[in-house]
């Protein structure tokens, strides 16, 4: 009997591929590793990289330039993110740091890493891909977002907005836990 070996190739969006390629080809690998320890102030289980906010790290003459993109233009955590990035690099011995906010292209949940999505679930927040495509536009409260606790899709939307504007509040009808769903953007 002939057994065929099946190879699974993980798929990712073009935007995510380009972002990860840019990091992989960066000349500032040590600084990327330092910044991997900077966590999102609103979801401290995720690094800014895993959240998709951290875009680029460059060494420019006498300073380090870090580019970030907020999850939305009015994100109240941007000042804290900037302070945390500067603090991490200063502690690492970088004397001059500039943090640049880039609004275009706009942040997308496609930039979140798989690790980040898993960390969201472990933190009790349903990840953007835990709902079918129609769930965001669904007019009914039952949108089949998978519960991050028991993975049931027997859930009900309680509110279009959760703890922040980028999340919606759901309740699982099986385990009865309330949870945020990070909206797909």
Q: Residue 3: inside a domain, yes or no?
A: no
pLDDT of 89-112, one tens digit each?
Answer: 999 999 999 999 999 999 999 999
Whole-angstrom Cα distance, residue 42 to residue 83?
14
Element spanning 79, H or E: helix 78-91
Nearest of 70, 182, 50, 53 to residue 116 by alpha carbon: 50
Domain count, the chain: 2
- CATH assignment of the domain containing 88: 3.30.300.130
pLDDT of 143-160, one tens digit each?
Answer: 689 999 999 999 999 999
Q: What's this model's pTM, rounded to 2 decimal places?
A: 0.83
Q: Residue 39: inside a domain, yes or no?
A: yes
Task: Please give the residue range of the domain that contains residue 53.
Answer: 14-111
Whole-angstrom Cα distance, residue 179 to residue 125?
6
């Amino acid at each position: 009997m002939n057994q065929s070996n099946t190879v699974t190739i993980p798929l990712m969006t073009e935007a995510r591929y380009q972002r990860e390629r840019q990091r992989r080809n960066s000349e500032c690998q040590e600084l990327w590793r330092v910044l991997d320890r900077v966590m999102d102030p609103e979801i401290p289980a995720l690094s800014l990289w895993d959240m998709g906010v951290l875009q680029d790290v460059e060494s420019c003459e006498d300073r380090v330039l870090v580019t970030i993109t907020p999850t939305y233009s009015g994100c109240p955590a941007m000042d804290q993110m900037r302070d945390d990035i500067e603090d991490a690099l200063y502690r690492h011995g970088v004397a001059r740091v500039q943090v640049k906010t880039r609004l275009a292209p706009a942040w997308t949940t496609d930039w979140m890493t798989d690790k980040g999505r898993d960390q969201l679930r472990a933190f009790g927040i349903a990840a953007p891909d835990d709902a079918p495509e129609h769930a965001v536009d669904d007019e009914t409260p039952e949108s089949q977002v998978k519960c991050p606790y028991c993975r049931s899709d027997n859930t009900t939307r309680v509110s279009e907005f959760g703890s922040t504007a980028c999340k919606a509040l759901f309740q699982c009808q099986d385990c009865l836990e309330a949870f945020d769903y990070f909206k797909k953007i």
